[in-house]
Structure 1
Amino acid sequence: MELVKQLGSTDVDAIVVACQELAAMQAEPASLAKLLSHKEPRVKAAAARALRGMDGAEASAPVLTQMVTDADTYVRIAASECLNSMGVKAASQVANLGKSLANSHPGVVAAAAHALTTMGPSAADYVQPLEAALSLEAEDISTHMLTAAGVMPKTPAVLRKPACAAAAALGVLGSATSVAKLMELLSSKDWEIRAAAVMALSQMQVGSDSSRFESQLTDLLKDPAPEVSAVKASAVESLSCMGDEAEAFLEPICKLFNDKSWKVRVAAVRAVAGCGELGQMYASEVCRLTTNTDARTKLAAVKALEQMGERGACFDEEVEMLMSDNDPEVAIAAKKAIQTFFDLKAAALENQTKMAIAETPATANHSSPPPPEPSAPSSGSSTAALLFPGQGSQYVKMMSDVKDMPAVKDMLATAQKILGYDLLKLCLEGPEDQLEQTKFCQPAMYIGGLAGLELLRKENPAAAETPRAVAGLSLGEYTALTVAGVFDLETGLRLVKLRGEAMQEAAEASPQKMISLAGLKKEVVEGLCAECRSGDEVCQIANILFPNGFSCAGSKAAMDKLLEKANKTDGCLQAKELKTSGAFHTKCMMPARDKLLAALKEVEPKMKPPTCDVYVNLTGSKMPAGTPVPKIVELLADQLTNCVEWMPCMQAMIQDGIVDFYECGPMKQLKAMMKRIDMTAWKTTQNIHV
């Protein structure tokens, strides 16, 4: 064979090339083994690299073990990686490698520890020497010059730093006694050592020990230094291995969705998706990443949504848009996810059919009380309702697909005149932290909802122009009232602008917080709120969103207590802090209510009675078409300081005979809520996404 002949050449470069080609062919391990004793270090290293993963390479394990102590760095590295790839097949060399852990050269110790990592139970006898190596601060710097010059890539930390190599080995071989020593490394000044320790702890799946280093892991997640992105990614992967115990970390993990490092974002998305039912509660936040400019982040988000089952399937329309993505991996993943969502829905339909058939005989022989008579429609014969989302559904790039529609362009031009800034630019480019601010978010969502209506008008004119009723969540109520003809675009936007500014000002007047709770009954949440209040503190339910799903808001001190108590209460599926800046829909908003009421009184002469039914937040019931304007002014002012009754609104609509629901605006938060309120209504709820 020509390549075997080339191995005997006097040209070192020719030999190295031959080794590489034989490695690709997975051929001639015996011929390559002969080169391990070659006088030229480059040849020895090339031969060791070629043997990596090759059948029969284990016959060379004794020679490779000797090479681990070689004076040449690249020979040591190649030998160590080759032994590591052999795993238990090289277990006969454990004792000799164990002796090398006591070597004075950091490169030798690192190479020996790396080789031992995969050698199975027999290597566990050297846990103590590996634990001792964790305290070695020395580093093999012999490759630094070549790396700095761009000649060679940076050598992995596990082959340069004994502490990193030992940590990696203990992650596989270590016992409970190793956990404490690895925990000590979490506060190391060396970010590579911190990353290695976190990764080792994740591999060990320390379970109940997680609480012992919760504060260190949380600190790592908050570290803003760019060079520690690997640490944060490792920390997130560590937390994802903790199962239900990762619940306490889900909030800080989700904050990493906006991290500058794609590795951290991807690790965070994967971690949340791996946290089962608890992680599924964050499906909407994962969905936001499907619009990220980085393809790797989009890919992770699509795969995570697929993993989230029915919760992820709520965002099938967003995923479907990526089936034509420019990145082929993203497009393929999107197609696979859509197929998974289809299978889930088909299985659910089949189960419902079986249950209906099974229940038919039983129900046929028993009389049941007649269903409540629906209220007679007060306007038109349509069975459609328009729904408008509120603050929290915004995302960077919103309205990108509708910005060129003539009606939307006109609205954006009007918005720029009234607001004094380019709303479209903020929506398309961010920054996200600015778009999330109440005074910017509310005008954006108001226009976004109306833009969604224009898109619906194009796709389904009848539904857009003659709705039976409208409703909007919090800020969305202003969009709904605009559609119902209560005020025109300019009046509505001026009110929304003032409302957002006044609410942000009230939120900044004292420490406030808003949290999301799921899984607890209303009376339980009310009881917890009462327990957490003291003195003049505010702590109350701010939104009733779906069965056992609420947001609560109030004074920060009281909310911190509520967050802690709720997490310890049986049945609580989720308790997390929301991004909103203040205690909206509580007494904390009284200063904003006064300003809003004055503004409403000023524009009252311009307002008109609604042309269709409006289901209002304050009462959770229908406000009939033709309701006098003074009543509407009162309802809008009081909405700011009282609980939003969203679930009762939807239940009232359904009871009144409304069948088709169109959510107009960014994301599909309202559709996701509808699924928990009423499955039949969810099936006829369509999102008009912008």
Structure 2
Amino acid sequence: MKLAFVFPGQGSQAVGMGSELFQRSDAARAAFEIVDDACGEAISKLCFEGPEAILRETKNTQPCLFATSVAVLAACREAGLVPSVVAGHSVGEYAALVAAEAFDVATGAKLVQQRALAMAEAARLHPGSMAAVLGLDARVVKEICDSLNSVGHVVVPANDNCPGQVVISGEAMSIAAAAIVLKERGAKRILPLEVSGAFHSPLMEFAATVLRPVIANFPIADPKLLVVANVTADYETTAEEVKANLGAQVAGPVRWTETIQRLWGDGYTHFVECGNGKVLAGLIKRIAPEAVVFSVGDPTSLAVVSEGLRQ
């Protein structure tokens, strides 16, 4: 059995996430406490108690998701679960890099905090939106976006989540223009997303510019596990690759379909989603229907996974 750990991104958050693991796992509790100390604020309390409106703010969502994912990772390690490869969706990539020991939890927390603040400021300076395109091939979505960009629009495929689900990102007027053409070309639905900015688009280049020198100044090592990067959908094995890919990630695409196809093609048959919710588990089953997928976010699901992987 070849085991992969994957870590979710924005949209997976919910008030209460991680609270049961905090109470019942010493390793998870220690991870939350490290994030709180590194960020200089009670990230764990916001995870556990909300309120939801505050948790949804980008500057808070990202550190909270990171804290929950690394706490789940710690609990999995405590239970003896060890992956051979890791990947994360958007901000989840930072938790994946903790799993690969490219940096420690405290460093990851500080990086995510800076990422969240930079992206929130980019969204304020360059407002935009995102929408999920359902029922259309990713190549068609890209073709339409490219055509619109050639006449002055700003809209790109931001997240290739799974076959038939691509998220586009850009200026609000460009999203609206794209929606018309996408429907004409056969999209079943266009769903506006409740996000505060045009993430993973050129409108995030301000955040990328801010983050690159920040990332360069933090201690990052060669990963000890294989990591598939969002922007390349390929393995990164050196600290230099990690830094370059993280610097490009906020304004670049999340190539999730290709990531899972690569892992499945390389023989990784079992996946554990470490963090809140089951978003990635659903996507993985649509990309690789025969994959064995678990989601871990609390002690009960951890026990199920531990038993399932030992059978």
Query: What letter is aligned with 1:482?
Result: V
Letter in 2 for 1:391: Q
- Do 2:15 and 2:47's aligned partners in 1 also have CA atoms closer than 8 Å? yes
1:410 aligns with 2:30: yes
Contact 2:43 2:67 survives alignment (8 Å): no
Q: Distance in 2 between matches of 1:540 and 1:674?
A: 23
Question: Which residue among 278, 286, 294 is the counterpart of 1:676?
Answer: 286
What one-letter code is carried by the residue in structure 2 that aligns with 1:430? G
Residues 383, 658 of structure 1: 8 Å contact kept? yes
Look up the SS of the partner of 1:448 in the other structure: helix
The answer on 1:629 being equivalent to 2:218 is: no
- 1:399-438 to 2 correspondences below 5 Å: 399-404=18-23, 405-438=25-58
CA contact (8 A) 2:44 2:67 kept: no
Match of 1:559 among 159, 175, 199: 175
Cα displacement string for residues 355-390 of structure 1 (whole angstroms, at most 9, x for unaligned residues): xxxxxxxxxxxxxxxxxxxxxxxxxxx611111001
Pairing 1:499–2:115 present: yes
Q: Which amino acid aligns with 1:689?
A: G
Q: How does 1:498-537 map to 2 (within 5 A)?
A: 498-533=114-149, 536-537=152-153
The Cα shift of 1:529 comes to 1.9
Letter aligned with residue 679 of structure 1: P
Q: 1:398 maps to which residue?
A: 17
SS of corresponding position for 1:394: coil
CA contact (8 A) 1:446 1:478 kept: yes
> CA–CA distance in 2 between the matches of 1:530 and 1:660?
36
Corresponding residue for 1:661?
271
SS state at 1:661 partner: strand
Secondary structure of 2:235's counterpart equals: strand
Q: How does 1:153-232 map to 2 (within 5 A)?
A: none
CA contact (8 A) 2:47 2:64 kept: yes
Asked if the contact 1:455/1:688 (under 8 Å) is kept, the reply is no
Structure 1 contact 519–574 (Cα < 8 Å) conserved:
yes
The question of whether the paired residues in 2 share the 8 Å contact of 1:542 and 1:552 is answered with yes
Deviations 1:500-521 (A, max 9, x none): 0000100111220011111011
CA distance in 2: counterparts of 1:473 and 1:620, whole angstroms: 11
Distance 1:472 1:565 in 2: 31
The 5 A counterparts of 1:22-101 are: none
Q: 1:658: Cα distance to partner?
A: 0.9
User: What corresponds to 2:7 in structure 1?
Assistant: 388
Q: Please tell me whether the aligned partners of residues 127 and 198 of structure 2 are also in contact (alpha carbons under 8 angstroms).
A: no
Q: Displacement, 1:594? A: 1.2
C-alpha distance in structure 1 between counterparts of 2:152 and 2:126, whole Å: 12
* 1:479 and 2:102 aligned: no
The Cα offsets for residues 34-70 of structure 1, whole Å up to 9 and x where unpaired, read as xxxxxxxxxxxxxxxxxxxxxxxxxxxxxxxxxxxxx
CA distance in 2, matches of 1:481, 1:473: 12
Distance 1:454 1:607 in 2: 20
SS at match of 2:184: coil
Aligned-partner residue type, residue 295 of structure 2: N
Instruction: Give the aligned partner of residue 19 of structure 1.
Output: none
Deviation string for 1:143-163 (max 9, x for gaps)? xxxxxxxxxxxxxxxxxxxxx
Shift of 1:458: 4.3
Higher RCO (C-alpha 8 Å, min separation 6): 2
Deviations along 1:634-657, one digit per CA (max 9) or x if unpaired, are 111111221111111101101111
| Residue ranges of structure 1 left out of the alignment (5+ in a row) | 1-381
Residue pair 1:543, 1:552 contacting (<8 A) in 2 also: yes
More strand by share: 2
Q: 2:262 is matched with which residue?
A: 652
- SS, match of residue 551 in structure 1: strand
SS at 1:508 equivalent? helix
- C-alpha distance in 1 between matches for 2:78 and 2:32: 18
The Cα offsets for residues 615-641 of structure 1, whole Å up to 9 and x where unpaired, read as: 111111222xxx231221111111122
1:423 aligned partner, one-letter code: I
- Percent identity between matched residues is 33
Cα shift at 1:574:
2.4
CA pair 635-570 structure 1, distance change in 2 beyond 3 A:
closer
Take 1:570 and 1:517, find their aligned partners in 2: how far apart are those partners? 11
Aligned to 1:584: 199
Separation in 2, partners of 1:687, 1:416? 24
In 2, the alpha carbon distance for the partners of 1:633 and 1:538 equals 26
**Residue of structure 2 in register with 1:343 after alignment:** none
Q: What SS is found at the alignment partner of 1:542?
A: strand
Letter in 2 for 1:574: R
Q: Distance in 2 between matches of 1:607 and 1:419?
A: 18
After TM superposition, give the deviation of residue 613 of structure 1 in Å: 0.8
Letter paired with 2:91: L
In the alignment, structure 1 residue 574 sits paired with structure 2 residue 194? no
The equivalent residue for 2:209 is 594
**Contact 1:518 1:548 (8 Å CA) reproduced:** yes
- Point out where structure 2 has 5 or more consecutive residues left out of the alignment: 299-311
Contact 1:384/1:658 (<8 A) preserved: yes
The SS at the match of 1:562 is: helix
Task: Name the amino acid aligned to 1:497.
Answer: Q
Is contact 1:474–1:617 with CA below 8 Å preserved after alignment?
yes
Structure 2: distance between partners of 1:434 and 1:633 = 30
Please tell me whether Structure 1 or Structure 2 has the larger radius of gyration of its CA atoms: 1
Once residues 638 and 663 of structure 1 are traced to their aligned partners in structure 2, the CA distance between those partners, rounded to angstroms, is 24
Per-residue deviation at 1:540?
0.6
Counterparts of 2:127 and 2:147, CA distance in 1: 19
Q: Is the 8 A contact 1:563 1:576 kept in 2?
A: no
Measured against aligned partners, the alpha-carbon deviations of 1:216-247 in whole angstroms (never above 9, x if no partner) come to xxxxxxxxxxxxxxxxxxxxxxxxxxxxxxxx
Measure, in 2, the Cα distance between the counterparts of 1:548 and 1:562.
Answer: 16
Q: Counterpart amino acid of 1:398?
A: M
Greater fraction helix: 1
Equivalent-residue separation in structure 1 for 2:238 and 2:139 (angstroms) = 35
Equivalent in 38, 63, 67 of residue 443 of structure 1: 63
* AA aligned opposite 2:220: M
Cα deviation, residue 446, structure 1:
0.7
**C-alpha distance in structure 1 between counterparts of 2:220 and 2:185, whole Å:** 48
Q: Tell me, yes or no, if structure 1 residue 608 matches structure 2 residue 221.
A: yes
Letter in 1 for 2:8: P
C-alpha deviation, 1:402, in angstroms: 0.7
Q: Deviations over 1:311-361 (max 9, x none)?
A: xxxxxxxxxxxxxxxxxxxxxxxxxxxxxxxxxxxxxxxxxxxxxxxxxxx
The CA RMSD measured in Å over matched residues stands at 1.7
Correspondence 1:272-287 to 2 at 5 A: none
Provide TM-score, normalisation by structure 2: 0.90
Give the drift of 1:570: 5.2
1:417 Cα offset (Å)? 2.4
Matched, 1:452 2:72: yes
CA distance in 2, matches of 1:638, 1:471: 16
Q: Is the 8 A contact 1:388 1:664 kept in 2?
A: yes
Distance, in Å, in 2 between the alignment partners of 1:601 and 1:390 is: 23
The 3 A distance-change label for structure 1 pair 536 and 565 is: closer
8 Å CA contact 2:27–2:75 kept in 1: the answer is no
Structure 1 length as normaliser, TM-score? Answer: 0.42
Aligned to 1:489: 105
Taking the aligned partners of 2:76 and 2:29, their CA distance within structure 1 comes to 16
The SS at the match of 1:393 is coil
Quote the residue 2:309 is aligned against.
none
